[in-house]
C-alpha cells in the first residue's frame, strides 16, 4: 500500500541541477507517479515551503534515512511475503503482488527501503549520504516486491548495519565453500615450467629468452655486478723492471709487485730530488701508520669521550735510524689522539737530525720517553709498534739494547705492528702480526705477518723515472691490505 511509505524519512537525489532533497514522506500518488515531502530540506538548508512534490522522472536516486514506527508495524502485520508499493517511472507500470515483470534496464530508479541513517537536524547541515542507484533489470524482483534487507535494529544494532554494508553484500554464499589449495597447487607443474625455462636459456646462449623472436636480450647480472658496459679491467697496472719478484694483490684484485731494496732507495732518492724531502715522508708515514694503529686499537668503538678512563696504551720500540724516526712521528700522532704512548729509544752520543727534531715534537705531546727496557710497562699493552730494524745496518741486532727490547716485545703478549720492516734472510727478532710497507712493498718473509701498503705521496712520474709503470692501487684510501699471491 502507498500508505506504507508515509512517515518515512528519505533523501531524494534529483541530479546536479535540482540537487538533493530530504524530508518526511507525506503522500505517494500511484496514479500520477509522484511523491511529496513535508518539512523538506534542499541541499542541507530548510525550504521555505512546507511541502514539495516530485515526479518519478525527476528522481535519480532515493534512499531511506529512517523508517517510521507505523511502517514497521504495518510490515509485521502484512508478513514477510506481503507486497508493498514501489514507486516506478512513467514508462513502467504499477502492480500489486510479487509476480509482476521487472522494470526495463537504464530506467528511472526504484524506491527501495535502505539502511536507517541519522535524521537531519534542523538548523545544521548534514553531510549527504553516499547514493547508490538501484536500477531495475530483467533479473530484479517484481515492481511491487520490496527488496529484502537485513534489519539493523536487531542482532547488533547500528554496528551490525555497518558490518553488513562492508562485508555482507552477497559474500556469505561465497565463503561457505573452502578454497582447495592442494587441488589448485596440483595444477602447477613445477618441473615442466623449469624445464621450459632452462631450454629457453640454452637457446639464448645463457640469456633468458624474452620478447619477440630474434630479439637480442641482455645477459643476467648479479646484484654486485655493473650493468653498464665498460672496458675490461686491467689487473696488472703496475710493472717493475725486475721480473721474478714476489707479488701481492689488493682486495679488488689489482696486482702489486714487490721491488728490491736497491730500487726502493733509487725511488726515494728520485722523490727527494723533486722536493719530497725526508721530513715530508716522515710526516706522511707517521700519519698513515697512526691511522692504521688507531683502527687496530678499536677506532670509534674505543676512542670516545665517554671512554677516557680506558685509554689504550701503545709501546713504541725505536732505533737510531730513519725507521726509528718514522716510529717517533707515528707516536706523536697517536699521542695527539689521546693514546697513552711509551717511547723506547736508547741513548746515543750522536743522533740523526731527523730523530732530534721528531723527539722535540714528541716531547710536546706529553708522551713518555724511556731509554731503558726496565722502564717499559710490566703489564701487557694494547699494541707494540716495532721500529728497531734498519734496512742498511744489520749489526744492530747484536747490540744488548736491541736484544733486550726484542725480548720484552715477545714476552708482552701484545700484537705487534712493524713499520717499514727490512728484507732479511734471518728470522725476525720480533714476530709481527702486521707490517706496513711504504710506496711499494719489499719481498717480505712470512714472519712479517699480514702486509699493508701506505701511500707516502710519490707522484707517478717519479715512478716512471726509475722504470716503474705505476697506477695508484689505493683508490679512496691511504692504507690498503695486500694479499700474497
pLDDT averaged over consecutive 10-residue blocks of the chain (485 residues)?
A: 78 88 88 88 88 88 79 53 41 39 38 41 41 38 44 48 61 65 82 85 58 54 72 86 87 93 94 95 96 93 81 94 95 94 88 91 94 92 94 86 93 93 78 94 88 95 95 94 88
Instruction: Give the three cell numbers for residue 110.
Output: 526504484
Per-domain residue ranges for the chain?
A: 2-166, 247-484
Angle at CA of residue 266, ends 264 and 272, nearest 5°? 105
The DSSP output letter for 379 is: S
State the pLDDT at residue 17: 83
State the pLDDT at residue 384: 96
The structure's pTM equals 0.55
State the pLDDT at residue 314: 96
How many helices (H) and strands (E) in the chain?
A: 12, 17
339 in Cβ contact with 312 (< 8 Å):
yes
Q: How far apart, in whole angstroms, are the C-alpha atoms of residue 182 and residue 266?
A: 78
Q: Strand (E) positions, 30-152?
A: 34-42, 45-46, 51-55, 61-66
Q: How far apart, in whole angstroms, are the C-alpha atoms of residue 404 and residue 9?
A: 107
Q: Following DSSP, what letter does each residue of 467-479 receive, concatenated?
A: T-B-----TT-SE
Which residues are registered as beta bridge partners of 53?
A: 36
Q: What CATH number labels 2-166?
A: 2.30.30.100
76 in Cβ contact with 21 (< 8 Å):
no
State the pLDDT at residue 426: 63
Instruction: Give the three cell numbers for residue 360.
Output: 722535540
State the pLDDT at residue 106: 38
Q: What is the dihedral of CA 125, 128, 129, 133, to 10 degrees?
A: 150
Place of cell 724516526: 325
Distances (CA, A) of 294 to 143, 318, 323, 364, 383: 90, 19, 20, 20, 10
Domain at 247-484, CATH class:
alpha beta
State the pLDDT at residue 219: 63
5 in Cβ contact with 71 (< 8 Å):
yes
Q: What share of the chain is helix, strand, coil (3-state, %, to 5)?
A: 30, 15, 50
What sign for the dihedral angle of Cα 222, 225, 230, 233?
Answer: negative
Amino acid at each position: 500500500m502507498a500508505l506504507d511509505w508515509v512517515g518515512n524519512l528519505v533523501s531524494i537525489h534529483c541530479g546536479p541541477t535540482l540537487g538533493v532533497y530530504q524530508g518526511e514522506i507525506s503522500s505517494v500518488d500511484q496514479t500520477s507517479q509522484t511523491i511529496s515531502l513535508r518539512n523538506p530540506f534542499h541541499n542541507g538548508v530548510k525550504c521555505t515551503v512546507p511541502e514539495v512534490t516530485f515526479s518519478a522522472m525527476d528522481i535519480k536516486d532515493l534512499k531511506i534515512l529512517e523508517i517510521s514506527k507505523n511502517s514497521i508495524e504495518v510490515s509485521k502485520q502484512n508478513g514477510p511475503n506481503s507486497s508493498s508499493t514501489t514507486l516506478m517511472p512513467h514508462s513502467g507500470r504499477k502492480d500489486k503482488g510479487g509476480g509482476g515483470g521487472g522494470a526495463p534496464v537504464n530506467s528511472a530508479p526504484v524506491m527501495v527501503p535502505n539502511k536507517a541513517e541519522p535524521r537531519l537536524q534542523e538548523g545544521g547541515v548534514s553531510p549527504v549520504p553516499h547514493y547508490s542507484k538501484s536500477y531495475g533489470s530483467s533479473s530484479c524482483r517484481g515492481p511491487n516486491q520490496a527488496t529484502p534487507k537485513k534489519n539493523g535494529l536487531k542482532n547488533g544494532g547500528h554496528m551490525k548495519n555497518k558490518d553488513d554494508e562492508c562485508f555482507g553484500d552477497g559474500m556469505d554464499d561465497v565463503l561457505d565453500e573452502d578454497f582447495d589449495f592442494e587441488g589448485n597447487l596440483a595444477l602447477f607443474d613445477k618441473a615442466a615450467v623449469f624445464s621450459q625455462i632452462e631450454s629457453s636459456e640454452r637457446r639464448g646462449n645463457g640469456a633468458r629468452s624474452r620478447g619477440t623472436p630474434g630479439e637480442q636480450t641482455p645477459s643476467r647480472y648479479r646484484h654486485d655486478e655493473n650493468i653498464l658496459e665498460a672496458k675490461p679491467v686491467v689487473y696488472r697496472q703496475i710493472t717493475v723492471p725486475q721480473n721474478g719478484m714476489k707479488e701481492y694483490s689488493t682486495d679488488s684484485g689489482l696486482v702489486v709487485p714487490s721491488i728490491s731494496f736497491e730500487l726502493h732507495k733509487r725511488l726515494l732518492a728520485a722523490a727527494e730530488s723533486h722536493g719530497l724531502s725526508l721530513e715530508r715522508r716522515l710526516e706522511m708515514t707517521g700519519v698513515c701508520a697512526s691511522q692504521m694503529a688507531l683502527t687496530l686499537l678499536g677506532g670509534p668503538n674505543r676512542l670516545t669521550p665517554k671512554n677516557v678512563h680506558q685509554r689504550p696504551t701503545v709501546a713504541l720500540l725505536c732505533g737510531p735510524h730513519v725507521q726509528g724516526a718514522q716510529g717517533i712521528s707515528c707516536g706523536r700522532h697517536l699521542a695527539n689522539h689521546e693514546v697513552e704512548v711509551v717511547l723506547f729509544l736508547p741513548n746515543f752520543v750522536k743522533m740523526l737530525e731527523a730523530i732530534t727534531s721528531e723527539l722535540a715534537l714528541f716531547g710536546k705531546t706529553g708522551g713518555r720517553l724511556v731509554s731503558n727496557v726496565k722502564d717499559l710497562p710490566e703489564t701487557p699493552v694494547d699494541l707494540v709498534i716495532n721500529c728497531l730494524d734498519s734496512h742498511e745496518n744489520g749489526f744492530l741486532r747484536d747490540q744488548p739494547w736491541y736484544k733486550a727490547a726484542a725480548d720484552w716485545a715477545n714476552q708482552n703478549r701484545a700484537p705487534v705492528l712493524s713499520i717499514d720492516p727490512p728484507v732479511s734472510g734471518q728470522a725476525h727478532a720480533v714476530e709481527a702480526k702486521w707490517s706496513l710497507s711504504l710506496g711499494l712493498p719489499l719481498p717480505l718473509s712470512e714472519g712479517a705477518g699480514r702486509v699493508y701498503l701506505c701511500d707516502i705521496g710519490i707522484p707517478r712520474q717519479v715512478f716512471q723515472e726509475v722504470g716503474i709503470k705505476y697506477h695508484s692501487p689505493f683508490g679512496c684510501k691511504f692504507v690498503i691490505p695486500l694479499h700474497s699471491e
